[in-house]
Chains A and B, each alone.
Chain A
Amino acid sequence: MRAFAYARPTSLEEALDVLKRPGALPLAGGTDLTTLLKDEVIEPEMLVSLADVADLRGVEHRGSVVHIGAMTPLAELIESADELGLDAVTQAAREIRAPQMLSVGTVGGELCQRPRCWYFRSGFGLLAMQGGRSMVPEGDNRYHAILGSGPAYFVNPSSLAPALSALGARVVVASTQGERRVLIEDLYQVPLREDQSEFSLADGELVVAVEVPTPDGPSGAVSSSYEVRPRTTLDWPLATASVAVTTDSANVVTRAKVVLGHVAPRPWVDLGAGEALVGRELDASAAAGAGAAAASGAKPLSKNAYKVRLAQVATKRAVLKLAAREETA
């Protein structure tokens, strides 16, 4: 990797101040960042370590939200989220697997990791443009997007984002100008030009926390995630689905949100699948209905039609997990 400067502030104020410098990037767990540096996909002037920044770590109730510090290690999130009933999040995080990742990888880092698109990682850029055309549609696109209409075909790599999005979470973004809150799905944007980012963050902005609405109502929102992965070992999902629903006393769904992962450049809030659940009793038939409704409008590329089916199956199975939970409850 190229040489870079290194700063290790101890307060958020200091960190935000240093991050204003041109070419400065925040360093959290570093599991993705070191890879990007070695592949010279990014060439920052300075890394700003968040390791010693106080108050960025931990999971706790704060009023009507569960507050998750951006520097909370994934392993810690799994333990806490389990207690807090954020099942979709716990399940998604657990499937990242490798203890070496879960120990060091952080919630903020997981959300802000860069796409695994092999054209991007090979140095062809996020849009993989050559001669004014994307290499992806005629290239090897077996793991690329089936939803969204270009020009970006990479998929959002986060496992947590769809789960957090299903639960209506927001990220807290800080800069020297102050704080703002943004829905998880809006942390991401689809770049239209090669000089645009896949994040909606301004220069100098840092994700400092995630806030998940506390499950409310008498029955509470229940949630689950399902992921299809090739191997049991450390691997990337081919498609994921996270589902959060609220049911009434008759087990009829009153609210539902379905978010697909690894199928589009952003976490894909699947309105059709969500609507298919509302008004239905939470059972196998509702699961099948949601699955059939999912990923509608998908436009698969030459090698990834199978992902449409996977997105549908993941949706169905995520709902089935909830239905099974209702049965045993």
Chain B
Amino acid sequence: MADYSWPAPGTHQTLGRRLSRLDGPVKATGAAKYSYDKALPGMLHGKMLTCPHAHARIVALDVSGARSMPGVRAVRVIQDVGSEIQWAHDEIVAVAAVSEDIARDALRAVRVEYEVLEHYVIEEDPNGTFEKKEPQERSQGDPDAGFASATTVVERELAIPQIAHMCLEAHGQVAEWQGDEVTVWASTQGVSTLPQQFVDGGLETKAANVRIRCDYMGGGFGAKFSPDRWGIVGAQLAKDAGAPVKMFLDRDQEVAVAGSRPSTFAKIRAGATADGKLVAWESETWGSGGRPGTGAVPVPYVFNVPNQRKKHTSVPTHLQSSRAWRAPNHPQACFLTMATLDDVAAELAMDPLDFVLANLELTGRFEATYREQLEIAAERTGWRERWRPRTEFDDGPLQRGLGLSLHTWGGRGHQSRCDVAVNPDGSVEARIGTQDLGTGTRTVIAMVLAETFGLEIDQVTVRMGDSRFPQSGPSGGSSTVGGVTGSTRRAAMDALREVFTRVAPMLEAEPETLVARGGRIEVDGDSTRSMTWQEAASRIGAVAVTVGGRNPGRGKLNDSGVGGVQIADVTVDIETGVTRVNKLLAIQDCGLVVNEKLAESQIYSGLIMGVGYALFEELIADPHSGRLLNADMEFYRLAGIGDVGTLEAVLMQGPEHQERGVIGLGEPPVISPGAALSNAVANAIGHRVPRLPMTPERVLETLMAAEAAEALEEKA
């Protein structure tokens, strides 16, 4: 039985190197054709009319004006008379026309009458909802006894709003029929899973007739797992019109219907003993992921407080259904927990680092990891010298603060298949039904090939982004890198063994004694008996050696479960409420690092998105109209380059990490920034800003409320 493993630590040829991403040059020169850039001969432009009301019933619909407009080639009613619309921007009618402008003209000619129904979009007060859900309750230990034993109890109300994915490439696709077969160039996180979903979604064909392509994509973050209604209708319009149809969402649609993360509101009590041991946790949480509501987030996060009582209520709203947003539920749980713990430490007049260390045994499996990470983080930030209690301030309006947070994630590789072919001319290629979201998937697959065959990265070819290739899971939950490296490594090792078997006689050696290294095949330990890779390949015969590999499979190539620690260093202007990030430090555990440069980019990326939701990002719904007021990139604020401070990424590396195999890195670094930044701001200004994002108005409101409370106290 063949064994599958990574080369022993210290013997890697390609793994771990700081190689540049393979698709870097095509992206940096604008040559990369994203699905949104696809132009086909005779291609039509699709656009959709959406509902301006958050809750309404369609009572009349007339598309004749659109149908008769010159340049319009197909019209489809998505939701007809009688349909109840559950959120603003829900799709009503789609048209395909010779230009985008004419498609819009056609939509303007559609007449829709709505019966406007009552809506509910502000979940802050959960009692207003139209559909009361039963709360879920859970407890462990003896919460009452726990609180009774606590000498310090902190009560907090915290909140984190719904935010958007805001993929720069909007959702959409180009669909082209040839006979009964349709090719869809989609911006998707799942080329292999989309064909069946198209059929399930109502496209009148067989999954076998649906081919999905995605060479490059402009961001997904968990929002692009489905063909969506516009995908189905886009393909239908193409069929109706007998011409390819390009259908991408406008930005306001993208924000309003194509991706949000659920909110969480919380009332929390946490109790600790005088020596700083956490003993009790009680939380009442609620939140919304739009129309379906949302489930509970895993609080208390990371720290398994012995006595807990938790109640969660899902609150449906007339807003889009949320989608998986990078590390689903973790950033919310992390913020609620770490902010509360930080406040408990402050109440105990303890350094939060000491408080965390005092409770580290509650973290379970990763206790030792966290301990090591906290040590590194403290040293790198000068925490012991620089941290000061919340009660101490600098002169002037600028106040500096430090905050820390811990997080965890799984990251096990998903199901993946990969075909690896060695051609007689020595060329090597992998064919795999996966996609590169910008995380570097293409590059890591190539690196695994190069490592296995002892070649350079430019000597191998990766073919991906096509549902005709062996199926690989959708890219989500940090599952891709483990999955695709697993399937590729297994296929490549088997292909190499096959090559060894065929050339071993020529080297007068047993196949098991051969190794591929530095562009040659040689007898391990005897480099005099060797041949070039090209020569070896030329001996395999006329037909390529093609081998399939899969993940999961035999041998330990990947693992799950990581811990991470982050520290934020901020300066808050207490007169304006403006927070500036000085530095964000991430210490991350992630198993075998395939490409150090790309791994660091993933961490920076997580930190930057984290700054976004900590300081700026929030979907704002209008109570009157039920519409989003900031379905744009102007008042839905992403962090800019000047807003993120200095970022530092530390990957935990060494033989013990490498031996775990590959673990996904997409989610973990985005979990802690909200909590770490919130704690840093609290440390800077002396008070907890109870709600993210910590905009100037929220910081000032917190300070003004504290001033008012102090004034009241003085009066009394």
Q: How far is the CA of A140 from the CA of B626 in the complex (A)?
A: 11
Q: Is A142's beta carbon under 8 Å from chain B?
A: yes
Contacts of B700 in A (CB 8 A): 306, 309-310
- Least CB distance from B493 to A in Å reads 48
State whether A116 touches B696 (Cβ < 8 A).
no
A222-251 to B contact mask, C-beta < 8 Å, 1/0: 000000111111111010000000000000
Task: Pick the contact of B634: A1, A116, A309 (CB < 8 A).
Answer: A116
Q: Is B637's beta carbon under 8 Å from chain A?
A: yes
Contacts of B629 in A (CB 8 A): 118-119, 122, 140
Q: Is A139's beta carbon under 8 Å from chain B?
A: yes
State whether B624 touches A230 (Cβ < 8 A).
no
Task: Pick the contact of B640: A231, A236, A310 (CB < 8 A).
Answer: A231
- Least CB distance from A227 to B in Å reads 10
State whether B101 touches A231 (Cβ < 8 A).
no
Q: How far is the CA of A44 from the CA of B616 in the complex (A)?
A: 35
State whether B639 touches A230 (Cβ < 8 A).
no
Chain A interface secondary structure, helix, strand, loop or mixed? loop
Q: Is A328's beta carbon under 8 Å from chain B?
A: no
Q: A139-B624, A233-B642 are in contact. Are A306 and B616 (CB under 8 A)?
A: no
- Least CB distance from A314 to B in Å reads 8
Q: Is A54's beta carbon under 8 Å from chain B?
A: no
State whether B697 touches A306 (Cβ < 8 A).
yes
Q: How far is the CA of A236 from the CA of B630 in the complex (A)?
A: 13
State whether A238 touches B623 (Cβ < 8 A).
no
Closest 10 CB pairs of A and B: A233-B640, A232-B642, A306-B700, A118-B629, A306-B697, A313-B575, A135-B624, A228-B576, A231-B643, A139-B624
Q: How far is the CA of A231 from the CA of B640 in the complex (A)?
A: 7
State whether B704 touches A305 (Cβ < 8 A).
yes
Contacts of A80 in B (CB 8 A): none
Q: How far is the CA of A16 from the CA of B528 in the complex (A)?
A: 89
State whether B624 touches A231 (Cβ < 8 A).
no
* B interface residues, how many (CB within 8 angstroms): 33
Q: How far is the CA of A234 from the CA of B616 in the complex (A)?
A: 13
Contacts of B575 in A (CB 8 A): 309, 313
Query: 8 interchain pairs (CB within 8 A)?
Result: A116-B634, A118-B630, A119-B629, A124-B625, A142-B697, A230-B696, A238-B696, A306-B696
Q: How far is the CA of A306 from the CA of B105 in the complex (A)?
A: 43
Q: Is B130's beta carbon under 8 Å from chain A?
A: no
Contacts of A122 in B (CB 8 A): 622, 625, 627, 629
Q: How far is the CA of A323 from the CA of B616 in the complex (A)?
A: 33
Q: A231-B640, A233-B643 are in contact. Are A138 and B624 (CB under 8 A)?
A: yes
Q: How far is the CA of A139 from the CA of B623 in the complex (A)?
A: 6
- Least CB distance from A157 to B in Å reads 11
State whether B622 touches A135 (Cβ < 8 A).
yes
Q: How far is the CA of A321 from the CA of B513 in the complex (A)?
A: 77
Contacts of A119 in B (CB 8 A): 622, 629
Residue ID in chain B nearest A133 by CB atoms: B624
Q: How far is the CA of A238 from the CA of B696 in the complex (A)?
A: 9
Contacts of A232 in B (CB 8 A): 640, 642-643
* A interface residues, how many (CB within 8 angstroms): 33
Contacts of B625 in A (CB 8 A): 122, 124, 135
State whether B623 touches A140 (Cβ < 8 A).
yes
Contacts of A130 in B (CB 8 A): 624
Given contacts A118-B620, A306-B704, list 11 more A-B pairs with CB under 8 A.
Answer: A140-B622, A140-B623, A230-B615, A231-B637, A232-B643, A233-B639, A235-B637, A238-B696, A304-B697, A306-B697, A310-B577
- Least CB distance from A48 to B in Å reads 21
Which residues 579-637 in B have Cβ within 8 Å of A in the complex? Answer: 615-616, 620-625, 627, 629-630, 634-635, 637
- Least CB distance from A229 to B in Å reads 8
- Least CB distance from B614 to A in Å reads 13
Q: Is B108's beta carbon under 8 Å from chain A?
A: yes
Q: How far is the CA of A228 from the CA of B616 in the complex (A)?
A: 15
Q: How far is the CA of A231 from the CA of B635 in the complex (A)?
A: 11
Q: A122-B627, A304-B697 are in contact. Are A139 and B622 (CB under 8 A)?
A: yes
- Least CB distance from B70 to A in Å reads 13
- Least CB distance from B104 to A in Å reads 8
State whether B640 touches A230 (Cβ < 8 A).
no
Q: How far is the CA of A256 from the CA of B281 in the complex (A)?
A: 58
Q: Is A3's beta carbon under 8 Å from chain B?
A: yes
Which residues 273-329 in A have Cβ within 8 Å of B in the complex? Answer: 303-307, 309-310, 313
Contacts of B704 in A (CB 8 A): 305-306, 309
Q: Is B203's beta carbon under 8 Å from chain A?
A: no
Q: Is B209's beta carbon under 8 Å from chain A?
A: no
Q: How far is the CA of A124 from the CA of B108 in the complex (A)?
A: 18
Q: Is B205's beta carbon under 8 Å from chain A?
A: no
Q: How far is the CA of A135 from the CA of B625 in the complex (A)?
A: 9
Contacts of A116 in B (CB 8 A): 634-635
Contacts of A231 in B (CB 8 A): 616, 637, 639-640, 642-643
Q: How far is the CA of A124 from the CA of B622 in the complex (A)?
A: 12
Q: Is B372's beta carbon under 8 Å from chain A?
A: no
Residue ID in chain A nearest B701 by CB atoms: A306
Q: Is B712's beta carbon under 8 Å from chain A?
A: no
State whether B101 touches A3 (Cβ < 8 A).
yes
Q: How far is the CA of A124 from the CA of B697 in the complex (A)?
A: 25
State whether A228 touches B578 (Cβ < 8 A).
yes
Contacts of A236 in B (CB 8 A): 634-635
Q: Is B695's beta carbon under 8 Å from chain A?
A: yes
Q: How far is the CA of A31 from the CA of B577 in the complex (A)?
A: 30
Residue ID in chain A nearest B108 by CB atoms: A2
Task: Pick the contact of B577: A233, A235, A306 (CB < 8 A).
Answer: A306
- Least CB distance from A103 to B in Å reads 18
Residue ID in chain A nearest B632 by CB atoms: A121
State whether B623 touches A310 (Cβ < 8 A).
no
Contacts of A313 in B (CB 8 A): 575-576
Q: How far is the CA of A269 from the CA of B639 in the complex (A)?
A: 33
Q: Is B8's beta carbon under 8 Å from chain A?
A: no
- Least CB distance from A260 to B in Å reads 15
Contacts of B630 in A (CB 8 A): 118
